[in-house]
Amino acid sequence: MKLQEILELAVRDEDVADIFLVAGLPVAMKRNGVQTRMDMAPLMPKDIGELVEEIYAEAKRTKVRLEAGEDDDFSLSMSRRENFPGGRFRVNVFRQRGSLAAVIRVIRFELPDPRKLGIPEDILALTDDSQGRNNKNGGLVLVTGAAGTGKTTTLACMIDRINNSRDCHIITMEDPIEYIHRHKKAIVTQREISIDTPGYLSALRSALRESPDVILLGEMRDYDTISAALIAAETGVLVFSTLHTNSAADTINRIVDVFPEKEQARTQLAQVLKAVVCQQLVPSTMEDGEGNQIRIPVFEVMKSTDAIQNMIRENKVNQLGAVMQAGVNEGMCTMDGNLLRLCREGRITKSTALKFRTHYGYEYMEKRLGEN
């Protein structure tokens, strides 16, 4: 099977998110979080090699990183052609058990609709001018969660909201670019790591000389990028970024831990942090047309208030959950609180709520689920 045939099947099926090309298995695709394998013979190492050659040819990219023994991560765009509607993909090529393998993420050209995805208005409103601390536009907004939980999609919706509503300059730094933002009210410049700029840190430092109002930093990976992001937020730029953390408390601890001077880091973070949004994708009680469970997002939202800032400064992040529970009227919520609510509404099962809990112990969560 040729690359174009595989990609065409994925693009025409709106539920396909990922394609897996691994020796010893047929072509596999992830639909609504469920793996399905095509009715075909397993791919051999030779087949994978030929598909990888096609990928690099379509991407007009050399295999320098791959031949140096590194994994290669890049974007691939294929224009409309005969029997192919066109598409954009994120590709990761790597080696396993002595042969090549690839995972291809399908990127839809159209930006996602936050209402269909279940992204609450309270989260989208974090982009609004009036949401800034002391009515300032700058600050740091973090969207966190495990890989594959939809962080990039949530951020794309937030950036699109700004693009539709504000006269400003948005600069994104992504590895790779997954959603294309067209110029609307805002000017949007999108930079892809390793193609448009060597890395996140150099792109971030350069961005501060490019009159930014909003910066999207694909990931805060280390001390240098985290420090630079905090400095950018201090200058009045609204900075969005991601971390692979599962709660607001974990997020704050992760950031502080990379700094040698913890007290100074907590003070700086308390000053610039605007909000932390943590998310998971969990199986719901609803099914698609083929009997597969539909996954829905569940969020934890922490907004910067005087109480939150004091807890960050005083290293009392273990108390954040109580403040978030009490801050419902301010648009805050905890992950476990939302899991409880969804279970009581019949949208997820009790076992799902217990499996994806982040704060409560098993017995306590089970007890809460048994309450009317």
Mean pLDDT of the chain: 92
Q: Give me the pLDDT at residue 134, please.
A: 38
DSSP codes of every residue in 234-291 = HTT-EEEEEES-SSHHHHHHHHHHT-SSHHHHHHHHHHHEEEEEEEEEEEEEEE-TTS
Provide the residue range defining the domain that includes 94.
3-107
**pTM of the predicted model as reported, rounded to 2 decimal places:** 0.85
Q: Tell me: the pLDDT tens digits for 96-132?
A: 999 999 999 998 777 889 999 999 999 999 998 654 4
Q: Is residue 341 part of a domain?
A: no
The answer, yes or no, to whether residue 189 has pLDDT greater than 90, is yes
Angle subtended by helix axes 262-272 and 306-313, to nearest 10: 170
How much is the average pLDDT of 221-240? 95
Specify whether 189 is located in the same domain as 321. yes
Number of structural domains (the chain) is 2
Largest CA distance in the chain: 62
Of 305, 230, 301, nearest in space to 269 by CA: 230
Q: Is residue 52 part of a domain?
A: yes
Q: Give me the pLDDT at residue 195, please.
A: 81
Last residue of a domain, one of 43, 76, 107: 107
Specify whether 78 is located in the same domain as 119. no
Which burial class, exposed, middle or buried, applies to 183 when counting CB atoms under 10 A from its CB (0-12, 13-18, 19+)? Answer: exposed
Q: Is residue 155 part of a domain?
A: yes
Q: Is residue 344 part of a domain?
A: no
Q: Tell me: the pLDDT tens digits for 342-372?
A: 999 999 999 999 999 998 999 999 999 988 5
Of 157, 163, 161, nearest in space to 119 by CA: 157
Specify whether 89 is located in the same domain as 120. no
Q: Tell me: the pLDDT tens digits for 277-321?
A: 999 999 999 987 777 788 999 999 999 999 999 999 999 999 999
Residue 18, token pair as written in the block:
């990922």
Specify whether 58 is located in the same domain as 205. no
Specify whether 211 is located in the same domain as 302. yes
How much is the average pLDDT of 224-238? 95
